[in-house]
Amino acid sequence: MNTALVALATAALAAALLTPVVRLFALRSGVVVVPGGRHVHQAPIPRLGGVAVLVAFFVALGAATLFDPDLQARLLARPLALVGLLVGGLTMGALGALDDIRGVGAWRKLLVQVGTAVFAFACGFRIDSIALPWLGQLEMGIFALPITIAWIVGIINALNLIDGLDGLAAGLAFFTCATNFVVGALNQDLLVVALSAALGGAILGFLLYNFNPASIFMGDSGSMFLGFSLATSSMLGASVKSATTVALLVPILAMGVPIIDTLFAMLRRVIERRPVFSPDRGHIHHRLLELGITHRRAVLMLYGFSMLLAGSAIVVATGRDWQVGASLILMSVLVIAVVRFVGYSDYLKFRRNLRRRLESESLQQLRQATHELLKSLYADPEGTRSMQSFVKRLGSFGETAGLLSISLSVRNQRGGTGVCFDWKAPEPSADMAARRQETALTEHTVGLTRGDSIRELSIAWKPDNTRITVAVESLLELVLTAYAEVQEQQQIAHFRRTSQTAIRFS
């Protein structure tokens, strides 16, 4: 226990001291998150906070190793595991930092993540079998490698996707560390206890600056490093008692919130016929904000949900079969209740009614045009930074969708409106006037409010369909969100140029 206290205290102190230094560096380098798009904050916030967490973790692990010869002996007895943790953690942290600073394409990130997972598998982090209550043990055999890769890559991206509110991802990661710590202590696994204490301490030190209102974000450097560390440390604990129960059920429950959010994000994007890696504002924390819950209360609610799942995970790891079964049933009911509360069940209804809603020819055209617009944007990251490129694509979007007109405007809440884009279908003037008169009832506007600005997208449709459905609203909101993303990219680029110029002349 003294070793755990040393690891916890050292990591917390190191993170608390390093985070302000990293924050200053990020501000001077222009590595910030600008308000708008999917982000809910009102001012530019520096990221790269994950670098402080990573350094604090390894410093604390080194201090604990020097303090306790027994821990040192256990680490030396498993050199491959130590190499896997060190190389894999540093690789994920470096990849995330590069993405924070310069941006890395989604497929490139995925390729590096898969490569790192394969390396971890070679170092002994593997899921060779699965055991569930009452069902017995199932050997993975040749499927051990793909399942291990899916587990590591899935946890990395789950934590990355849930990182949308101040302190949310860090707090959820801390509860997972606490779960691993308790399971490791009950199984008398000093290595898991030390790793969990060091990682939890680093998170606590960082949360001093990351909890609402945050002065720094962890960024991809933090979410990727934490995701990899949690996925692999969970598998370390599995080798002590039951490779199956501890390796899968316990971390699945402990990481329940980001896992649920990721699964529904993938389902949502498949249903909406758009790229799986495309960003949106449909995550569980966004849903809570849309219900009128404040930023801090939304985070605390998800903390509470995560604590219940963590308690259930500990019961699964240590309880008898009937206790495990009762815990899983209760947690299933709780998950269903949360899914219904945040409105995720609407997507299931949307799927059932999708065929009927797509009967309209105009809606099919709008869906196809939206799909092509988003696909072209996210397939060309450089293009998303150019407003001129986006406007050109938006004109093609209008032609493909068979629209009569498109209008994009930005309105300040304190007054004043500016038209950013105004497009009309290239038709003969007399015919256009007649058709616009007929389509007065098909004009529709959607809005997106971020900070002090209200972005609005207005369209006019052909007269063969005057019905505005939920599907139409969703498609137009996707286009408007893509526009907000383009503006955000331009603001980030401008902020970086300004920051670098100020540094040169200072």
Q: What is residue 243's predicted lDDT score, i.e. its pLDDT?
A: 37
Domain ranges in the chain with CATH number 3.30.450: 355-505
Q: Model confidence over 214-237: pLDDT tens digits?
A: 889 998 999 999 999 998 888 775
Q: Which residue has the higher pLDDT, 19 or 355?
A: 19
**Spatial contact of 88 and 228, defined as CB atoms under 8 Å apart:** yes
Whether the pLDDT of residue 137 is over 60: the answer is yes
Reported confidence tier of residue 207, pLDDT bands at 50, 70, 90 = very high
pLDDT of 325 reads 67
Residue 357: its pLDDT value, please? 47
Contact 350, 470 (CB under 8 A): yes
| Three-class secondary structure assignment of 10-63 | HHHHHHHHHHHHHHHHHHHHCCEECCECCECCCCCEECCHHHHHHHHHHHHHHH
pLDDT in tens, 453-501: 667 777 776 654 445 555 676 777 777 777 777 766 666 666 666 666 5
| pLDDT over 90 percentage in the chain | 20
Higher-scoring residue by pLDDT: 92, 234 = 92
Tens of pLDDT, residue by residue over 231-266, are: 888 877 554 444 334 346 667 777 777 787 777 777
* Band of pLDDT at residue 14, cut at 50, 70 and 90: very high
Picking from 135-139, 309-313, 347-351, 377-381, which range would have the lowest pLDDT averaged per residue? 347-351
Q: What is the pLDDT of residue 205?
A: 94
- Provide the pLDDT for residue 2: 83
Neighbouring residues of 160: CB distance < 8 A, sequence distance ≥ 6: 169, 220, 223, 224, 227
pLDDT at site 393: 78
pLDDT of res. 362? 67
pLDDT at 438 over 70: no
Considering the domain delimited by 355-505, tell me its CATH architecture. Answer: 2-Layer Sandwich (3.30)
Q: Which percentage of the chain shows pLDDT scores above 70?
A: 65
Are 153 and 114 in contact by the 8 Å Cβ rule? The answer is yes
**For the whole model, what pTM was predicted?**
0.66
Question: What separation in angstroms does the CA of 43 have from each of 46, 210, 322, 417, 470?
Answer: 10, 14, 51, 21, 32
Considering only residues 111 and 28, tell me which one the structure prediction assigns the higher pLDDT: 111
The pLDDT of 20-26, averaged and rounded, is 92
Give the residue, 91 or 244, on which the prediction is more confident: 91
What's the pLDDT score for residue 359?
Answer: 46
Cα distances (Å, whole numbers) of residue 282 to 208, 224, 300, 302: 28, 21, 19, 16
Question: What pLDDT is recorded for position 143?
Answer: 85
342 compared with 80, residue with greater pLDDT: 80
From 8-22, 115-129, 462-476, the region with the lowest mean pLDDT: 462-476
Express each pLDDT in 363-404 by its tens digit: 677 777 777 777 777 665 554 456 667 777 777 787 777 777
Residue 123 has pLDDT above 50, yes or no: yes
Report the pLDDT value the prediction gives residue 470, as an integer from 0 to 100. 59
Q: Which amino acid is at 402?
A: G
Q: What is the pLDDT of residue 96?
A: 92
Candidate from 217-226, 307-316, 427-436 with smallest mean pLDDT:
427-436
Mean pLDDT, range 79-83, rounded to an integer: 88
Structure token pair of residue 392: 């050109």
**Residue 72 — φ and ψ, nearest 5°?**
-60, -45
Token duo for residue 109: 């990130």
Average pLDDT of the chain to the nearest whole number: 75
pLDDT of 345 strictly over 90:
no
Output b/e per residue, 107-125; b: 16+ Cβ within 10 A: eebeebbeebbeebbebbb
- The pLDDT of residue 16 is 95
Beta carbons of 321 and 134 less than 8 angstroms apart:
yes
Token digits of residue 208: 């001093």
SS3 462: coil
